[in-house]
Chain A
Amino acid sequence: MAELTYRAAVARGIAQEMERDPSVVFIGEDVAAAGGVFKTTEGLLERFGPDRVRDTPISEQAITGALMGAAMNGLRPIGELMFSDFLAVCWDIVANQIAKTRYMTGGQVALPLVIRTANGGGTRFGGQHSQSLESWAMAVPGLKVVAPSTPRDVVGLLAAAVRDPDPVVFFEHKKLFATKQDVPDGEIVDRLGIATVVAPGSDVTIAALAAMVPVALEAAGRLSESGVSAEVIDLRSLVPLDTRTLLESVTRTGRLVTVEENPRLCGWGAEIASIVAEEALWDLDGPIVRVTTPHIPLPAAAEMEDLAIPSADRVVDAVLRIT
């Protein structure tokens, strides 16, 4: 057991898989010699050499295209997009090519690849380096979508993503890079599509993802002081989505609040709300409430950004409105 940051957990997860499987390779901008602009991949070049850990030009289409071609021809590549916002410059490769090729070829092509990317706000980077884009990827059939909230989950879910036979978009949250946790030694491998109840409760279910998990936990702590018992679920992956854990919780608590960092429209919480409405409406004791960033681009100024992104205060208010 050793204390590990979320940042260092990324390198540990990649190293664990590269050590195990020689077909795992890793590319991206500034990932090798510089160890990543967020220092998430330090030491990998030294350990695995320049054939397997490689810097690329600023060419997101070439990076994601190379991942796809390499996966078609026997490798299990991991690629990094420095910021998830850069998905927009290679969305053709990700959404049209990588996501659809297995289906469109009648199952001929397997694409075991991982696109890792730094996601999310709270870092004052402004609207083009701060977005939470899990819902974009979730909307495209053929992509698996993972977003860990803790260092341990970074290792275990990254390992699961690398071993998965399908393409995975792996969102690492920038605001969480410095967070720490005691993480067991040795190999850690999770399964995709398993949500975790991170705080048990009986009055309301709060579903959260990535950096919104600690926000939800803080809210749950404050609510307990007001006598409200909140259950917090860390979804961990949106595709596959663990609706069983979610529905089991909601049928028990009778209330659901989603906490989403993305702007309001078509966020993942809307899908979850619709599933719960279709399948557990008669178990509900109040309306489903979504706490999201307003439907705006994220501003850069600290006070404005903090107002935009869901806070524990807003989650507490939302819960108190329905309990």
Chain B
Amino acid sequence: MSSPSASRLSMYRDMVRARYFEQRVYDLFMEGIVKGTTHLGLGQEAVAAGFVAAMRSDDLTFCTYRGHNHTLLRGAPMAALLGEMAGRDLGICGGKGGSMHLTDVTKGAMGSYAIVGAHLPIAAGAAWAALLRGTGQVAVCFFGDGTTNIGAFHEALNLAAVWKLPVVFVCENNLYMEYTPISTVIPVEHPAADRASAYGLESLLVDGNDVDAVRTLATEVIERARRGEGPSLVEAKTYRHKGHSRADPGKYRPQEEVDAWLAYDPVKIYRARLTADGVGIDTIEAIEREAAAEVDGATEQVRNAPPPDPGTLLTDVWADGGSAWRN
């Protein structure tokens, strides 16, 4: 067993919470309660759970529009996240962000960024501040395989490497950049790992559906960053159970590929592993019941919540709380 069992149960709990939460997001979207769009991370939970388990509470995470799981697992309240996606007043951003911008600064969840690549240099900047201020914080930045082809990825990797910043870049390679197989738009096999050497970084690949393996590597690279030994770039191979966003049924993926990955579901395989390692079924089912109850409770709160107060439309553009641009 690679980890103490209490923290392994905690990672299982995190994955189950994330799984049930996003399944509910999907259902509520179909019901018309969650609006706009959603980019579900169903099937990718082990990456967020493994990294969060390796982080200190004051470490900082930066994620993408596919960032519901990461934000939830850093500790953001579930009802406030669901409420944000539903555009209710209890939303974590008061309804001003939406599903692609979940943020909970109090938990170190420093934002979900919806323009591909933007948050990599921002995470580097937060890491730079941590270094200068001597806080010992590490910034962890999650993104998809498609991000490795945009300029900000390369600018951020280069700056972080040259300045030896305490930041960990985590590529969740789910094999598709939106609707297109990543293999058709890159000249290398591994979109992140094969580019690491360009920045003097080690090539680091991990099974992104194996939460124990993710946590082990995450601990190593996060502590390396904390010791002042600079950034890392990790590529975690995983798979999206759903399409890119709500509008995408994901029909471009071969059925046998989808079936194989559904069989290699990170939640299922971890449940089986924990059971094989001697964790009682009662313990596991209790975790699952609690998670289901938490999701039901959050759903109830959101169903009963009013829309945002119209008076907040013009607040929070500026630090003075308002939006005035003239006297």
Contacts and interface: CB of A to CB of B under 8 A. Distances in A.
Contact of A72 (B96, B115, B126): B126
A37 B317 CA distance: 34
Contacts of A70: 125-126, 128-129, 132
What is the size category of the interface that chain A forms with chain B? 35 or more
Interface string B85-129: 000000111111100010111000011010101111111111111
A72 B121 CA distance: 12
A65 B103 contact: no
B115 A69 contact: no
A104 B321 contact: no
Contacts, number: 170
A106 B92 contact: yes
Interface stretch (A172-180, A241-249, A251-259, A298-306): A241-249
A66 interface: yes
Interface residues of B, number: 55
A57 B96 contact: no
B167 to A, nearest CB: 9
A85 interface: no
A222 interface: no
A241 B325 contact: yes
B156 interface: yes
Interface string B149-179: 0011001101100110000000000000000
Contact of A65 (B92, B122, B158): B122
Contacts of A59: 121, 155, 158-159
A16 interface: no
Contact of A108 (B103, B139, B162): B103
B155 A69 contact: no
B317 A103 contact: yes
Given A70-B128, A75-B132, A65 B327 contact: no
B121 A107 contact: no
Given A72-B110, A96-B118, A62 B124 contact: yes
Most buried by B among A69, A70, A104, A166: A69
A240 B324 contact: yes
B251 interface: no
A59 B60 CA distance: 23
A57 B327 contact: no
Contacts of B158: 57, 59, 62
Nearest to B325: A239
Most buried by B among A63, A104, A141, A243: A104
A109 B126 CA distance: 13
A51 B128 CA distance: 10
Contact of A25 (B93, B105, B132): B132
A107 B321 contact: yes
Contacts of A68: 121-122, 125
Interface string B296-327: 00000000000000000001111111011111
B159 A56 contact: yes
B75 to A, nearest CB: 14
Given A75-B129, A104-B97, A107-B321, A69 B316 contact: no
26 contacts: A57-B159, A59-B158, A61-B151, A62-B124, A62-B155, A65-B122, A65-B152, A66-B122, A69-B122, A70-B129, A72-B110, A73-B135, A75-B128, A75-B132, A93-B152, A102-B318, A103-B96, A103-B316, A103-B317, A106-B97, A109-B105, A109-B110, A110-B319, A165-B320, A193-B327, A243-B327
Interface of B: 60, 91-97, 101, 103-105, 110-111, 113, 115, 117-130, 132-133, 135, 137, 139, 151-152, 155-156, 158-159, 162-163, 315-321, 323-327
Given A69-B129, A70-B128, A240-B325, 17 more contacts: A61-B117, A61-B121, A61-B155, A64-B121, A65-B119, A69-B122, A71-B129, A73-B129, A75-B128, A93-B118, A93-B122, A97-B122, A105-B111, A107-B321, A108-B105, A141-B323, A193-B326
Closest 6 CB pairs of A and B: A69-B125, A65-B121, A165-B319, A66-B125, A106-B94, A107-B316
